[in-house]
Amino acid sequence: MTMLIFERSGQGRRLSLLPETPVDVEQYIPGECLRRQDLDLPQLSENDISRHYTELAKRSHGVNDGFYPLGSCTMKYNPKLNEEMAASAGFCDIHPLQPLDTVQGCLQVMADAQKYLAEITGMDAVSLQPGAGAHGEFTGLLLIKAYLRSLGQDGRTKIIVPDSAHGTNPASAAMAGFSVINVPSDPQGDVDLAALKEAVGEDTAALMLTNPNTLGRFDKNILQITQIVHAAGGLCYYDGANLNAVVGLVRPGDMGFDVVHLNLHKTFSTPHGGGGPGSGPVGCKSFLAPFLPGPLAAEEPGGSYGWHLPVQCIGAVKAFYGNFLVAVKALSYILTLGADGLAAAATQAVLNANYLMKQLSGSYDMACDGLCMHEFVMSLEKLKQETGVSAMDVAKAILDCHMYPPTMYFPLIVHEALMVEPTETESKETLDQAAQAYLEIYRRAFSDPESLHNAPCGTVIGRVDEVGAARNPRLKYGD
Amino acid sequence: MGGYLPVDPASQRQMLAALGLSSAEELFADVPREMLMKQVDIPQGQSEMETEKAMRQMAGKNKVFASVFRGAGAYRHYIPAIVKNVTAKEEFVTAYTPYQAEISQGILQAIYEYQTMICRLTGMDAANASVYDGATAAAEALAMCWDKKKPLAIVAASAPPQVIQVCQTYCFGSGMELAIAPLRNGLVDKKALRQLLQDRPAACFYLQQPNYFGLIEDAAGIAEIVREHKTKLIMGVNPVAAALLQTPGEIGADIAVGEGQPLGMPLSFGGPYLGFMAANKAMMRKLPGRIVGETTDNRGNRAFVLTLQAREQHIRREKASSNICSNQALCALTASVYMAAMGPAGLRQAASLSVAAAHRLAEGLCAIPGFSLRYKSPFFHEFVTECPVTPAYLEERLAERGILSGLPLEDGGMLWCATEMNDQAQIDALLQAVREVTV
Amino acid sequence: MQIPQDLQYTKTHEWVKFNEDGSKAKVGITDFAQNQMGDIVFITLPEVGDSVAAEDTLTDFESVKAVSDIYSPVSGDICAVNEDLADAPELLNSDPYAAWIVELENLGETAELLSAAAYQAYCQEQEEA
């Protein structure tokens, strides 16, 4: 068992980091404003800290540690150059409120990233301010809200969301003050056109959609879908979570979408960081551009760069200009891959997913037939009925193979779902090994189901008591 | 095949053959033909060497100031070497949100330790795994206090402009009404605040400590007024200052939030930063985002896991109070390693040296004709002066000398900041430069 | 599955028990509801003094991976809440009919209420569906 950092602490241990000039604080700050509570941070040597976090690193699994086909999350390899660029002093040590002539390079990074992302999505303008995908959704919906208000169409209060959507879609709609209409999907996860026609009307603000959808299928009715919504006076919002399947090949703008968010930490390979920081730029068609959160970076005549605040700006959604260093990494990625490389990456992502799906489809049931895009969803409902082995059991057994399991129990419309997204940066050999592991587990579901209920057994801990954790929350050391 | 694809042409052909396809284009059969691009209009790919050159050229167009006297929401502190070393570990950099507890114990434990440190720093009962930044943390805190019987939030005018702006944008979404509490001498006007609260019941009041002008607010006195009106108190605090100042817990705040950037993160042209959020026990379940809890595994070991998930968007969907599903884990890790490296004595020392440097700077500036402190009350490591020349002129002249001055304010003042990074030699050089350009 | 005879039920799986003079009513969730949900980890307790209309959302309760609304079987004002559930939500699993959630007074109209027998039949239908 690993000690907590607090358990490693020893009274009086410390690093020598700052000059030890004594300061009489009470000379400056009235005594009654001073903290009385003990500041109980750990007291450690540098070696204590180094060992501690090295141990924690060993108890974690990143993309560098092995196959990570977590569906909908696009866990591709994160190029080292991008990290190095973002760590350079010329980007890191720049104050956000420096004079304009001292931040021309930062503005160029932003202006170029805005320009390339606009072209890649088929949009007219992009703001880099949102901090993640969900934040981008919220921002995009506020653009729609502000736009509709400017037209006096306050009565458009409903956002249509398919039941296969990511949970953030309805949550973002609610945060932006809209109410949500859920529309059913057909068994392929495609939008049910009849249900959509029924749902749209004078109260429709927008449809939120991800394409490819969460079953990993490209909705081939996409042009009809966006037409139906536009005909009813609504707007179309593209959830860019699954853009990796089509980046460089198909543009949301050409599918009929008016506003889009991207997840730079997915499609553009800026790392996930164990949960963040990410970045969720929002792009839109020109009629929405005046509402974008700002300021935006703009190239000016003469080759210099300045700020541009959209005239009907919704305000700021985040302090300053977004997660700038993440934009640096994304730009570095885009420059390296270029138009041809992005298209090749998307193509390989789709080929890898289909290849792995093919290896597994003789045993596992797929949620839908035919080819998939960048990910596929398996349904273990029948396996569970026959053997008692659940999607959770299979996922936990995968842990013993030193791979990260697929996304479990999503999308909600598939029972006992496992969602697999290999990404383009995995080799055929890795996919073959993964297929063998999955097929072996499938066989064990029939021969030795008990061993799967007890999996994993080779990890540093076994399955955890989530019920106990939620009933009696212990959220800090000492609780 | 370039880029980062590990697939050679032969294996690509084998894979296509296994699918019974003759070309990769057939994979996109569902995409309407007219929609498929030949190519997007961005440059073609290039080598790593060429990209590096292009990126370094851009970085080179920025000016890195060795001497920085500017804060206003982004602070330059010393970053220990161990911080950069630990946070560059690829297991932390390249992992996803720790869904699978069995192989994510390291990240889960790191977040749990972070939550504990934030609670100890703020004196609160429970913290989340972080949100995007201090401004969105403030906006999320307002949302935590949403009360349909009191759809009004009040924010102190002495909060940083970026906090006020982001709160306004979030309120445009939620429909919560936002009022700004006016100031007197740079501090929250307590009489006016009492009047505001008497006029209309408010769900919450947001107070910044130290405030945007660096001044130390009478948090205890304000808390009393706020409590009398059954309004929730949200305190936005600077985490370095929190090592010295009365904690939100001691003040009796319901929620504490703040910008975590001073805890070991570089200035980074504004991001990524870290929004920390902590609450008292009664508000714990209203915290947005990820939360890690301690539990046991089926072998009886101590274990950590994402918990209280039924609050979140993937379960509550449109009924969730926040849509957030990420956290700033790598920035939270940065803050943890920073706090562990500094320890209680080191963090107090960073805060003390900053306060002392700011006061020496203020004294030195005010000895120069035309400079005076705008506000007379105690301040932490920032303060506003009047200037004998226009602040923009002063900024420009100092920049020429390699010094990033205080921030010019729109009304002719300048907002200065000093930290432990501004040693006596830097302060002396600044004062000398100011004397030269203001004679 | 337990369905006590002396209670009335809703199709949304709440039970209601009126006191002798019919002036007050206690409300809880049924055995069927707790069983569907699995291990209950938290219940949001409403506030005394709040009013609720029949069939409107009274509150909600959580398992590790789900959340479910509780609808009021009757209109009224909340005069008491079962504070024990704050620290021990598992009581809703172990003894759902003892673990009342709220007590209402100033009662008004009711939702469609079923007898024990009718509710039993309804649950059977649900399970077969």
Q: Report the C-alpha gap between B151 and B382 in whole angstroms.
A: 34
Contact list in A for residue C93 (CB cut-off 8 A) is none
Are residues A56 and B106 in contact, defined by beta-carbon separation less than 8 angstroms?
A: yes
Asked if C90 lies within 8 A of A409 by C-beta distance, the reply is no
* A26 at B interface, C-beta within 8 A: no
Parent domain of B354: 67-78+343-438
> Which residues, other chains included, contact A157 with Cβ-Cβ below 8 Å and sequence gap of 6+?
A177, A178, A179, A203, A205
Spell out, as residue ranges, where chain A has pLDDT lower than 50.
none
Q: Report the C-alpha gap between B272 and B394 in whole angstroms.
A: 30
| A248, B83, B239 from B246: Cα distances, Å | 54, 27, 12
Q: Report the C-alpha gap between B377 and A129 in whole angstroms.
A: 36
Which of A332, A17, A214, A237 has the alpha carbon at shortest distance from B83? A17
Which of B288, B30, B29, B245 has the alpha carbon at shortest distance from B121? B245
Asked if A274 lies within 8 A of B333 by C-beta distance, the reply is yes
Is the same domain home to A309 and A371? no
- Does residue B15 fall inside a structural domain? no
Q: Report the C-alpha gap between B245 and B261 in whole angstroms.
A: 18
From the DSSP assignment, how many helices (H) and strands (E) are in chain A? 15, 13
pLDDT in tens, A250-288: 999 999 999 999 999 999 999 999 999 999 999 999 999
- Does residue B100 fall inside a structural domain? yes
The tokens 């980062």 sit on which residue? B4
Q: Report the C-alpha gap between A236 and A276 in whole angstroms.
A: 27
* A29 at B interface, C-beta within 8 A: yes
Are residues A420 and A357 in contact, defined by beta-carbon separation less than 8 angstroms?
A: yes
- Does residue A281 fall inside a structural domain? yes
The enclosing domain of B410 has a CATH number of: 3.90.1150.10
Residue B1 has what pLDDT?
44
Local confidence band at C65 (pLDDT 50, 70, 90 cut-offs)? confident
Smallest CA–CA distance from B93 into chain A, residue = A273
Buried/exposed code over A223-262 (b: 16+ C-beta within 10 A; e: otherwise): eebbebbeebbbbbbbbbbbbbbbbbbbbbbbbbbbbbbb
- Does residue B10 fall inside a structural domain? no
Smallest CA–CA distance from A135 into chain B, residue = B324
Q: What are B194's two structure tokens?
A: 């009492």
pLDDT in tens, C66-124: 899 999 999 999 999 999 999 999 999 999 999 999 999 999 999 999 999 999 999 99
Is the same domain home to B402 and B270? no
Is the same domain home to B166 and B234? yes
Are residues B72 and A97 in contact, defined by beta-carbon separation less than 8 angstroms?
A: yes
- Does residue B20 fall inside a structural domain? no
Is the same domain home to B74 and B159? no
Phi, psi of B290 (to 5 degrees): -75, 145
Asked if A470 lies within 8 A of C41 by C-beta distance, the reply is yes
Local confidence band at B2 (pLDDT 50, 70, 90 cut-offs)? low
Q: What are A279's two structure tokens?
A: 């970045």
> Which residues, other chains included, contact C121 with Cβ-Cβ below 8 Å and sequence gap of 6+?
none
Is the same domain home to A228 and A312? yes
Distance from CA of B248 to the nearest CA of C (A): 26
Candidate from B94, B342, B380 with C-beta closest to A17: B342
Is the same domain home to A284 and A351? no
Check residue A199 and give left, alpha or beta (phi > 0: left; psi -120 to 50: alpha).
alpha
Is the same domain home to A203 and A97? yes
Is the same domain home to A297 and A178? yes
Phi, psi of B279 (to 5 degrees): -140, 165
- Residue-by-residue DSSP string for A246-264: TTTT--HHHHT-SEEE--T
Q: Helix, strand, or coil here: B30?
A: coil
Distance from CA of B198 to the nearest CA of A (A): 27
Is the same domain home to B139 and B231? yes
Is the same domain home to B310 and B191? yes
Contact list in B for residue C62 (CB cut-off 8 A) is 310
* A466 at C interface, C-beta within 8 A: yes
Q: Report the C-alpha gap between B414 and B391 in whole angstroms.
A: 6
Q: Which amino acid is at C65?
A: K
Is the same domain home to A160 and A15? no
Is the same domain home to A33 and A150? no
Instruction: Return the axis-axis angle of helices A428-447 and A324-360, rounded to nearest 10°.
Output: 50
Distance from CA of C75 to the nearest CA of A (A): 25
Q: Helix, strand, or coil here: B234?
A: strand
Contact list in B for residue C57 (CB cut-off 8 A) is none
> With a CB-CB cutoff of 8 Å, which residues 211-230 of chain A face chain C?
none
Is the same domain home to B382 and B318? no
Smallest CA–CA distance from C61 into chain B, residue = B310
Candidate from B310, B316, B319 with C-beta closest to C42: B310
Domain boundary among B337, B369, B403: B337
Contact list in A for residue C37 (CB cut-off 8 A) is none
Q: What are A80's two structure tokens?
A: 């080292």
Is the same domain home to B305 and B350? no
Strands (DSSP E) found in A275-324: 282-284, 296-299, 305-308
Smallest CA–CA distance from B359 into chain A, residue = A28
Asked if A467 lies within 8 A of C41 by C-beta distance, the reply is yes
Q: What are A200's two structure tokens?
A: 């749209």
Is the same domain home to B73 and B85? no
Distance from CA of A446 to the nearest CA of B (A): 24
Q: What are B168's two structure tokens?
A: 């306004």
- Does an H or E element contain B289, and which? none
Give Rg (Cα) of chain B: 25
- Does residue A394 fall inside a structural domain? yes
Q: Report the C-alpha gap between C50 and C59 in whole angstroms.
A: 11
- For B319, other C-beta atoms within 10 Å of its C-beta total 15
Contact list in C for residue B305 (CB cut-off 8 A) is none
Asked if A40 lies within 8 A of B43 by C-beta distance, the reply is no
Is the same domain home to A162 and A206? yes
Which of A329, A7, A279 has the alpha carbon at shortest distance from A126? A279
Which residue out of A335, A369, A464, A477 would a mutagenesis test of the B interface target, given it has the greatest number of B Cβ atoms within 10 Å?
Answer: A464
Q: What are B181's two structure tokens?
A: 């509490």
- Does residue A48 fall inside a structural domain? yes
The enclosing domain of A325 has a CATH number of: 3.40.640.10
Parent domain of A401: 347-453
Is the same domain home to B220 and B266? yes
Candidate from A272, A343, A355 with C-beta closest to B39: A343
Distance from CA of A389 to the nearest CA of B (A): 18
The tokens 């060497």 sit on which residue? B49
Domains for chain C: give ranges and CATH numbers.
8-128 (2.40.50.100)
Is the same domain home to A369 and A324? no
- Does residue A379 fall inside a structural domain? yes
pLDDT in tens, B285-323: 999 999 999 999 999 999 999 999 888 888 888 888 899
Q: Helix, strand, or coil here: B153?
A: strand
> Which residues, other chains included, contact B351 with Cβ-Cβ below 8 Å and sequence gap of 6+?
B240, B241, B243, B244, B381
Give Rg (Cα) of chain C: 14
Size of interface A-C (CB pairs under 8 A): 14
Distance from CA of C89 to the nearest CA of A (A): 7
Residue B107 has what pLDDT?
97
- Does an H or E element contain C56, and which? none
pTM of the predicted model, to two decimals?
0.97
Contact list in A for residue B348 (CB cut-off 8 A) is 39
Contact list in C for residue A466 (CB cut-off 8 A) is 64
Q: Which amino acid is at C76?
A: G
| A28, A207, A414, B22, B174 from A162: Cα distances, Å | 59, 9, 14, 34, 22
Is the same domain home to B71 and B178? no
Is the same domain home to A162 and A278? yes
The tokens 């106990």 sit on which residue? A468
Asked if B285 lies within 8 A of C42 by C-beta distance, the reply is yes
Asked if A119 lies within 8 A of B40 by C-beta distance, the reply is yes
Q: Report the C-alpha gap between C55 and A78 in whole angstroms.
A: 52
Q: Report the C-alpha gap between A309 and A317 in whole angstroms.
A: 14
- Residue-by-residue DSSP string for A210-260: -SS-TTS---TTHHHHHHHHHHTT-EEEEEGGGGGGTTTT--HHHHT-SEE
Local confidence band at B39 (pLDDT 50, 70, 90 cut-offs)? confident
Phi, psi of B257 (to 5 degrees): -135, 175
CA A191 to chain centre: 23
**How many folded domains does chain A comprise?**
3
Are residues B375 and B117 in contact, defined by beta-carbon separation less than 8 angstroms?
A: no
Domain boundary among B337, B360, B378: B337
Is the same domain home to A430 and A384? yes
Geometric angle at alpha carbon A141, from B267 and A231, rounded to 5°: 145
* A467 at C interface, C-beta within 8 A: yes
- Does residue A405 fall inside a structural domain? yes
Candidate from A54, A319, A405 with C-beta closest to B270: A319
- For C112, other C-beta atoms within 10 Å of its C-beta total 12
Contact list in A for residue C39 (CB cut-off 8 A) is 467, 471
Which residue out of A390, A416, A467 would a mutagenesis test of the C interface target, given it has the greatest number of C Cβ atoms within 10 Å?
Answer: A467
The enclosing domain of B231 has a CATH number of: 3.40.640.10
Is the same domain home to A43 and A166? no
Is the same domain home to B364 and B288? no
- Does residue B258 fall inside a structural domain? yes
Candidate from B285, B308, B315 with C-beta closest to C66: B315
Q: Helix, strand, or coil here: C104?
A: strand
- Does an H or E element contain C120, and which? helix C116-128
Are residues B268 and A324 in contact, defined by beta-carbon separation less than 8 angstroms?
A: yes
The enclosing domain of A386 has a CATH number of: 3.90.1150.10
Asked if C39 lies within 8 A of A467 by C-beta distance, the reply is yes
Domain boundary among A276, A306, A336: A336
Contact list in B for residue C42 (CB cut-off 8 A) is 285, 308, 310
Smallest CA–CA distance from A170 into chain B, residue = B318
> Which residues, other chains included, contact B232 with Cβ-Cβ below 8 Å and sequence gap of 6+?
B145, B203, B204, B205, B226, B254, B255, B283
Which residue out of B285, B305, B309 would a mutagenesis test of the C interface target, given it has the greatest number of C Cβ atoms within 10 Å?
Answer: B309
**How many folded domains does chain B comprise?**
2
Asked if A174 lies within 8 A of B319 by C-beta distance, the reply is yes
Task: Using the predicted structure, report yes or no on whether residue B240 has a pLDDT greater than 70.
Answer: yes
Smallest CA–CA distance from C41 into chain A, residue = A471
Smallest CA–CA distance from C63 into chain B, residue = B310
Domain boundary among B295, B313, B337: B337
Size of interface A-B (CB pairs under 8 A): 680
- Does residue B356 fall inside a structural domain? yes
In sequence order, the β-bridge partners of residue C81 are: C102
Are residues B266 and B334 in contact, defined by beta-carbon separation less than 8 angstroms?
A: no
- Does residue B322 fall inside a structural domain? yes
Is the same domain home to B74 and B85? no
Are residues A140 and A237 in contact, defined by beta-carbon separation less than 8 angstroms?
A: yes
The tokens 């901090």 sit on which residue? A131
> Which residues, other chains included, contact A93 with Cβ-Cβ below 8 Å and sequence gap of 6+?
B64, B65, B76, B266, B267
- Does residue A366 fall inside a structural domain? yes
Strands C57-62 and C51-52: unpaired
- Does an H or E element contain C76, and which? strand C76-81
